[in-house]
């Protein structure tokens, strides 16, 4: 995982035809942080996925595999940073 990696200058980013991005503050873990990314794909877009080979897979991995197997995908939702991962039972998070 990169350390002290800074975001690129938005002016240096080029648009990708057929892809629209949207961000929001979902307040998943910390308020006031843009922690949700929605990627909208144009009709007919082709996608691929690379998944973990671990025996344990978090529910979003299982669902994404199933959706990709259907052969069509219109959008992706990404939580940041990886709120969707499975958590080790030895490190439970406190409930609010």
pLDDT tens per residue, range 62-96: 888 888 888 777 888 777 665 445 444 444 444 44
pLDDT tens per residue, range 18-40: 988 888 888 877 788 888 888 89
Provide the 3-class DSSP secondary structure of residue 82: coil
pTM for this prediction: 0.60
CATH code, 16-79: 3.60.70.12
Q: In 3-state terms, the chain is what percent helix, strand and coil (to 5)? A: 15, 20, 70
Provide the 3-class DSSP secondary structure of residue 64: helix
């Amino acid at each position: 995982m990169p350390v002290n990696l800074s975001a690129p200058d938005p002016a240096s980013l080029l648009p990708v035809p057929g892809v629209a991005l949207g961000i929001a503050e979902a307040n998943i873990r910390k308020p006031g942080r843009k922690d949700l990314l929605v990627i909208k794909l144009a009709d007919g877009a082709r996608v691929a996925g690379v998944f973990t080979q671990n025996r344990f897979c978090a529910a979003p991995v299982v669902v994404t595999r199933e959706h990709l197997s259907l052969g069509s995908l219109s959008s992706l939702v990404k939580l940041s940073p990886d709120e969707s991962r499975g958590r080790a039972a030895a490190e439970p998070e406190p409930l609010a």
